[in-house]
Amino acid sequence: MLSEKYLKSLEIIDISTLDSILTEYVKSSEISVGAGVEKLNVSDFLDNVFAKYAKLIPNRVVNIIVDLSVESKLYFLLIQEQKDIIKNQGETLSSGILDKMVFLDAFIKESLQQSYPASFIFRMAKKDVYLSSGHMIEKGSVASINAFSKLHKKGRMERNFDIRRHIISKRPFNESSLDNLVWGLGSTKCPLSKYAGTIIKVFIVLMIRKYYIFSDNEGNKPRFRGYNHFSTVVPRTKSVYLKAHDIKSYRDFIDLESEYNSLLNLKHKKLF
């Protein structure tokens, strides 16, 4: 109930405010590299734009922005989704319209799971617990989940960024579950996950609609550079490039309804 109450406070005027803050910051940037391209420090950029609006330090959003810059094929897929949404629903955003963005939802979910902390969801053992490995967690000990190891194998530099499994599961990224521990689990899960998820999704939608985001300004192939582990997990990439664009001018890249129906083995289901 608490999350529903706060979700209703996200009115169109709030979205307009975030949009104007975003536009003002990028236009006032002095780090121009020519041809309408702005080089932006991702942490500084989000601290000055997103944090002013959401009142938090958006480390997890930094990961999403960097992932957009290096997953170029998926970025064009997300552009196509926004084109289809605008064509069928107009440019206005609402909770119902955000729920239709299944590809964006899956992208955000994969990005957040790729940047899982190595240690979180702490629990105290009420009794001695014996693991299958033969190790024992003594009563009173505190243990945590190493969720980062789920998608990252030791010694492997390349990662597998796969959004298909999230589309197939049909679980939104702001829903807590055993396969999505971003928001915690059980009685200690985040009570405002739906509200926080909506804020994140709105921000990313505005970014996609207003800017093309890329990781390199010299024509090199996009490459993910890994993560740094502190109290949270952040990308090693320090900056990305933004260029204002009009997504309506892009040609159609893919039939998303056919792609969606193919993934779920459906004969036909309308997306938008």
pLDDT averaged over the chain? 77
Q: What is the pLDDT of residue 264?
A: 75
Q: Any idea what DSSP says for residue 186? A: G
Q: Which of 101-115, 186-200, 218-232 has the highest mean pLDDT?
A: 101-115
Q: What is the pLDDT of residue 2?
A: 41
Report the percentage of the chain scoring pLDDT > 70.
74
Q: What is the pLDDT of residue 22?
A: 77
Asked if pLDDT for residue 91 goes beyond 90, the answer is no
Q: What is the pLDDT of residue 6?
A: 46
Query: Cα 138 from chain centroid?
Result: 37
Rounded Cα distance between 41 and 55, Å, is 19
Local confidence band at 141 (pLDDT 50, 70, 90 cut-offs): confident
Q: What is the pLDDT of residue 80?
A: 93
Average the pLDDT over 69-93 and give the result: 90
Q: Any idea what DSSP says for residue 32? A: B
Rounded Cα distance between 171 and 34, Å, is 42
H/E element, 109: helix 102-114
pTM for the whole structure: 0.78
Q: What is the pLDDT of residue 57?
A: 47
Residues 136/128, Cβ–Cβ less than 8 Å: yes
Rounded Cα distance between 192 and 174, Å, is 9
Residue that is written with structure tokens 């440019």 in the block? 91
Q: What is the pLDDT of residue 53?
A: 60
Local confidence band at 268 (pLDDT 50, 70, 90 cut-offs): low
Q: Phi and psi dihedrals of 38, rounded to 5?
A: -115, 130
Domain ranges (residues) in the chain:
2-111+148-263
Q: What is the pLDDT of residue 7?
A: 46
Residues in Cβ contact with 121 at an 8 Å cutoff, skipping those fewer than 6 apart: 144, 145, 147, 181, 184, 185, 188
Rounded Cα distance between 145 and 123, Å, is 9
Average the pLDDT over 35-51 and give the result: 73
Q: Phi and psi dihedrals of 120, rounded to 5?
A: -160, 180
Q: What is the pLDDT of residue 170?
A: 85
